[in-house]
């Protein structure tokens, strides 16, 4: 079938559906929801059999839903209506939630039901629930709905609140007043719930040092306490704020300014002028933690395997994070472990250099340069590891430089539902570094190198495995994935031919080095990056500005809008 996606952006859910439907031989074209005229034009040009809205913020024009079946993905259980579906589900501490595929009609979210899928809720950030449970359930539900549509016999179910299996209801949009934190009364769990329910977007509006800030990226602190509402500690990127019954960490803030567009920054950067008196309470990444606290890098060791976790918010890695991670990595290489597993974070493995912190810097070009060099130093340390075998374990998605960083490891495994974006070009024709010109051709054919880099399309773990980009993918569930990774890494460490494997790897590295030194790859890539950062063409700086400030799309790129290519 010809399927048109009408979507606010090509987000992780839209990407996953695009991959799954394309794999099932559907021809999928994408149009961003810009205005009704553009939508009409897209429908006219593509003449789809079916329209799917994976992530829409506006209603579909009546002239379109009357003529075409339009399936809308609503992140709520049957009967749930209105925006802020997930926000309310978290605020109300729902134990089970779901997604529903509805047919667009005159009433928002009240159309006939084509499919639905429920899942148990986790106490987690909205953005994390969206990227895991919602994407997974939505994929199943949408594939079911598409199959039902194709059957041409299925009758979707009208929404009927009298039915005993309809538990949802209409919700008003959630407001900041509903999210408001009372630091003198709310306990830590309640505050965490409020911040989790707003994570990703829009954050909880609060006041710090007399200024309005949106709060994001919160986690529990089990040891510190102080005067409720005051900042009692700082660590790496985060600040710790006391509550009536303990404390919590806040990793990211967005300054609310009425006259100027702002964006999320690490709390420590956003508040830098105010934190001189706040004590730094460092964390030892090698120390086994008792109790919950904020850590963005930590290490665990078991049965001669070392697991290095780097859970950076949104997978973005700034200069200091890359340097810290490299230092810790190098310390591990000097230890007795035989295998090092690079775990990344639970939601993202890595999305490359930190575009927000670059945007914020006094000279974004200089900061881009520092950041990419710090990433390269990290990649180089992994590539040249000669005492251990290394494994990249992709629990979450990876994009741009993050994907290429993972290729620095000897073995790459991904969770089944991971999506990879192994390309840089969408960021204003960025050339990219992280030794990708060495690492990518080691794994995939010449023609696939070209198609991955040029087409700018996402691929899933299965496709990545089939191309040879990664070694294997398994387990949808994060826990299952972690177990399988543990087994795989431990068997690698115990292999009778471990020394031979290590020798083979170092020998291959020597051969590669003789053929073309790593430094030459780096120099060539950085010459191109220098043009991106300091050259006459400002495309990278413009694209980064648009990305960081979330400027709405004014057109759909041709590589997504097939119907506009002719």
Q: Give the span between the Cα atoms of 315 and 421, in whole angstroms.
A: 13
In contact, 433 and 525? CB cutoff 8 Å? yes
Name the nearest CA neighbour of 393 among 477, 287, 471.
471
Q: What are phi and psi of 107, to 5 degrees?
A: -100, 125
Q: Give the span between the Cα atoms of 457 and 523, in whole angstroms.
A: 27
Q: Give the span between the Cα atoms of 547 and 340, in whole angstroms.
A: 34
Of 246 and 352, the one with the shorter C-beta distance to ligand COA is 352
Of 41 and 429, the one with the shorter C-beta distance to ligand COA is 429
**Cα dist from 158 to 110, 114, 293, whole Å:** 8, 9, 47
CB of 519 to ligand COA, least distance (A): 20
What element of type H or E holds 5? Answer: strand 2-7
Of 80 and 347, the one with the shorter C-beta distance to ligand COA is 347
Of 201 and 534, the one with the shorter C-beta distance to ligand COA is 201
CB of 543 to ligand COA, least distance (A): 8
Judging by beta carbons within 10 Å of its beta carbon (0-12, 13-18, 19+), is residue 386 exposed, middle or buried? exposed
Sheet holding 472-474, edge to edge: 297-302, 305-310, 339-344, 389-394, 411-415, 472-474
Name the nearest CA neighbour of 206 among 120, 267, 126, 259.
267
Count of positions (residues) in the chain? 566
Other Cβ atoms less than 10 A from the Cβ of 323: the count is 16
CB of 384 to ligand COA, least distance (A): 21
Of 103 and 397, the one with the shorter C-beta distance to ligand COA is 397
Alpha helix ranges (H) inside 313-363: 319-333, 355-360
Of 75 and 401, the one with the shorter C-beta distance to ligand COA is 401
SS3 label, residue 492: helix
CB of 252 to ligand COA, least distance (A): 8
Of 242 and 316, the one with the shorter C-beta distance to ligand COA is 316
**Cα dist from 484 to 81, 236, 517, whole Å:** 39, 31, 35
Burial track 285-317 (b if 16+ CB lie within 10 A, e otherwise): beeeeeeebbbbbbbebeebbbbbbbbbbbbbb
Q: Which residues bind ligand COA (CB under 6 A)?
A: 11-12, 127, 200-201, 264, 314-316, 351-356, 397, 399-401, 421, 424, 426-427, 430
Of 97 and 424, the one with the shorter C-beta distance to ligand COA is 424
Q: Give the span between the Cα atoms of 383 and 72, in whole angstroms.
A: 45
CB of 403 to ligand COA, least distance (A): 9
Q: Give the span between the Cα atoms of 51 and 58, in whole angstroms.
A: 15
Sheet holding 70-74, edge to edge: 27-32, 2-7, 50-53, 70-74, 96-103, 113-120
SS3 label, residue 485: helix
Q: Is 446 left (phi over 0), alpha (psi -120 to 50) or beta?
A: alpha
Q: Give the span between the Cα atoms of 506 and 359, in whole angstroms.
A: 39
Of 78 and 526, the one with the shorter C-beta distance to ligand COA is 526
Of 70 and 198, the one with the shorter C-beta distance to ligand COA is 198
What residues contact 207, with CB distance under 8 A and at least 6 apart? 213
CB of 539 to ligand COA, least distance (A): 12
């Amino acid at each position: 079938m010809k399927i048109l996606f009408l979507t606010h952006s090509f987000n992780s859910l839209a990407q996953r559906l695009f991959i799954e439907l394309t794999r099932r031989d559907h021809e999928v074209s994408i149009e961003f929801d810009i205005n009704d005229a553009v939508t009409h034009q897209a429908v006219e040009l593509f003449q789809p059999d079916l329209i799917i809205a994976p992530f829409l913020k506006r209603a579909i024009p009546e002239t379109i839903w009357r003529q075409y079946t339009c399936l809308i993905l609503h992140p709520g259980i049957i009967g749930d209506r209105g925006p802020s579906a997930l926000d309310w589900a978290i605020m109300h501490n729902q134990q089970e939630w779901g997604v529903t595929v509805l047919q667009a009609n005159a009433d928002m979210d009240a159309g006939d039901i084509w499919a639905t899928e429920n899942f148990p809720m986790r106490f987690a950030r909205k953005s994390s629930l969206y990227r895991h449970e919602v994407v997974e359930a939505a994929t199943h539900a949408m594939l079911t709905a598409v199959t039902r549509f194709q059957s041409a016999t299925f009758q979707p179910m009208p929404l009927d609140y009298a039915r005993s299996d309809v538990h949802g209801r209409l919700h008003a949009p959630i407001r900041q007043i509903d999210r408001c934190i009372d630091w003198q009364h709310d306990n830590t769990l309640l505050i965490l719930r409020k911040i989790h329910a707003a994570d990703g977007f829009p954050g909880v509006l609060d006041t710090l040092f007399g200024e309005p800030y949106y709060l994001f990226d919160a986690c529990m602190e089990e040891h510190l306490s102080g005067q409720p509402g005051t900042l009692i500690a700082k660590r790496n990127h985060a600040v710790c704020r006391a509550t009536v019954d303990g404390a919590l960490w806040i990793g990211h803030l967005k300054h609310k300014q009425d006259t100027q567009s702002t964006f999320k920054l690490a709390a420590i950067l956003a508040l830098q002028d105010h934190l001189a008196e706040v004590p730094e309470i460092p964390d030892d990444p090698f120390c086994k933690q008792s109790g919950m606290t904020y850590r963005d890098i930590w290490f665990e060791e078991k049965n001669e395997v070392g697991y290095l976790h780097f859970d950076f918010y949104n997978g973005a890695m700034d200069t200091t994070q890359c340097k810290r991670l490299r230092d810790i990595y190098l310390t591990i290489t000097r230890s007795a472990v035989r295998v090092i597993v690079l775990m990344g974070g639970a939601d993202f493995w890595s999305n490359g250099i930190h575009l927000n912190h670059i945007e914020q810097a006094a000279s974004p070009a200089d900061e881009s340069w520092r950041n990419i060099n710090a990433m390269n130093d990290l990649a180089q340390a992994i590539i040249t590891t000669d005492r251990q075998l290394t494994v990249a374990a992709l629990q979450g998605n990876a994009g741009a430089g993050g994907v290429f960083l993972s290729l620095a490891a000897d073995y790459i495994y991904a969770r089944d539902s991971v999506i990879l974006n192994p390309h840089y070009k969408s960021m204003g024709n960025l050339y990219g570094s992280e030794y990708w010109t060495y690492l990518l051709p080691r794994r995939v054919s010449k023609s696939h190198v070209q198609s991955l880099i040029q087409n700018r399309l996402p691929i899933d773990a299965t496709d990545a495995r089939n191309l040879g980009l990664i070694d294997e993918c398994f387990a949808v569930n994060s826990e299952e994935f972690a177990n399988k990774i543990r087994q795989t890494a431990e068997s690698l460490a115990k292999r009778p031919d471990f020394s031979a494997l290590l020798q083979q790897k170092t020998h291959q590295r020597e051969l590669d080095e003789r053929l073309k030194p790593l430094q030459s790859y780096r120099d060539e890539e950085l010459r191109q990056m220098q043009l991106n950062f300091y050259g006459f063409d400002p495309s990278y700086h413009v694209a980064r500005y648009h990305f960081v400030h979330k400027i709405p799309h004014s057109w759909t790129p041709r590589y997504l809008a097939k119907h506009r290519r002719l």
